[in-house]
């Protein structure tokens, strides 16, 4: 019987290792896909910059003909405004993925607030979302990479806007409390059972969601000495919806 028990345990152990190997293999494949996506974006960005210069030059050429022709002038103005709007959006996206030759810089909470206000301006206005921060967050200074810290806030705010569609009072706020950054919204709260699962790769509560954003947020924050978690603790979650907390990793804060 003892030999039989040992054999069963060994079989179970082998089965467990196989399951873990398959999980790791899937994660590696997923990271390869993300790497390929990042490379594709860099290539597209380069091509866009070349095309941008050519289109901008062509638009400037037509300006000389628009001054004396009302019909051309109207169409020129529409084209110029649309192109400038496209370029503005491109400039806002660039810090989210530009990692080559990156260096650590000081980024204040106020800079992040202004960036988010510009990035989500149209959607905030369209969906009547009130967005604000407090002075403690505005004065907080990150010494890190722009391409790491900004996508974290963009992802969390973007998720919040999806869940806020189900409520009338739509608020998103960022606060500092006891050295911890709280990102809160007034939508539905996250069920306790999902508070840790939402940071798992490919886990998503949204229909059609990819389950990548929060996983990358947690992973990337860890690389710069910060941790992120979700909580329903009323001491932090003042709006009753989703509440994310970002705080320095105690082990790494001396290196920040």
**DSSP symbols for 165-184:** TT-SS-EEEEEEETTEEEEE
Q: Tokens representing 239?
A: 């709006």
Task: Tell me the per-residue pLDDT of 214-237, one tens digit each, with 9 for 90 and over.
Answer: 988 898 898 889 999 999 998 888
pLDDT band at 89, cuts 50/70/90? low
Under 8 Å between Cβ of 164 and 177: no
Is the predicted pLDDT of residue 6 greater than 60, yes or no?
Answer: no
Task: Tell me the per-residue pLDDT of 93-137, one tens digit each, with 9 for 90 and over.
Answer: 666 655 544 678 999 999 999 999 988 988 999 999 999 999 999
Is the predicted pLDDT of residue 151 greater than 50, yes or no?
Answer: yes
Please tell me what DSSP assigns to residue 67.
T
Q: What is the CATH number of domain 107-255?
A: 3.30.565.10
pLDDT band at 81, cuts 50/70/90? confident
Q: Where are the alpha helices (DSSP H) in the chain?
A: 2-66, 70-97, 109-119, 121-126, 135-139, 146-164, 213-223
């Amino acid at each position: 019987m003892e030999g039989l028990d040992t054999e069963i345990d060994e079989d179970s152990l082998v089965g467990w290792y196989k399951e873990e190997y398959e999980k790791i293999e899937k994660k590696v494949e997923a990271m390869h896909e993300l790497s390929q996506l990042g490379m594709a974006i860099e290539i597209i960005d380069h091509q866009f910059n070349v095309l941008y210069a050519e289109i901008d030059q062509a638009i400037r050429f037509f300006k000389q003909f628009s001054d004396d022709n009302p019909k051309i002038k109207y169409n020129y103005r529409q084209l110029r405004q649309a192109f400038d709007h496209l370029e503005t959006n491109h400039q806002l996206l660039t810090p989210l993925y530009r990692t080559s030759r990156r260096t650590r810089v000081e980024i204040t909470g106020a800079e992040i607030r202004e960036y988010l206000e510009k990035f989500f301006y149209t959607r905030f206005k369209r969906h009547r979302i009130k967005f604000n921060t407090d002075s403690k967050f505005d004065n907080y200074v990150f010494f890190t990479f722009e391409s790491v810290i900004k996508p974290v806030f963009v992802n969390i705010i973007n998720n919040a806007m999806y869940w806020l569609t189900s409520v009338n009072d739509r608020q998103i706020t960022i606060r500092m409390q006891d050295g911890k950054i709280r990102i809160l919204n007034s939508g539905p709260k996250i069920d306790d059972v999902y508070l840790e699962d939402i940071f798992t790769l490919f886990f998503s509560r949204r229909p059609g969601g990819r389950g990548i954003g929060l996983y990358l947020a947690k992973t990337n924050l860890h690389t710069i000495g910060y941790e992120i978690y979700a909580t329903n603790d009323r001491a932090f979650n003042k709006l009753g919806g989703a509440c994310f907390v970002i705080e320095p990793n105690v082990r790494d804060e001396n290196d920040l």
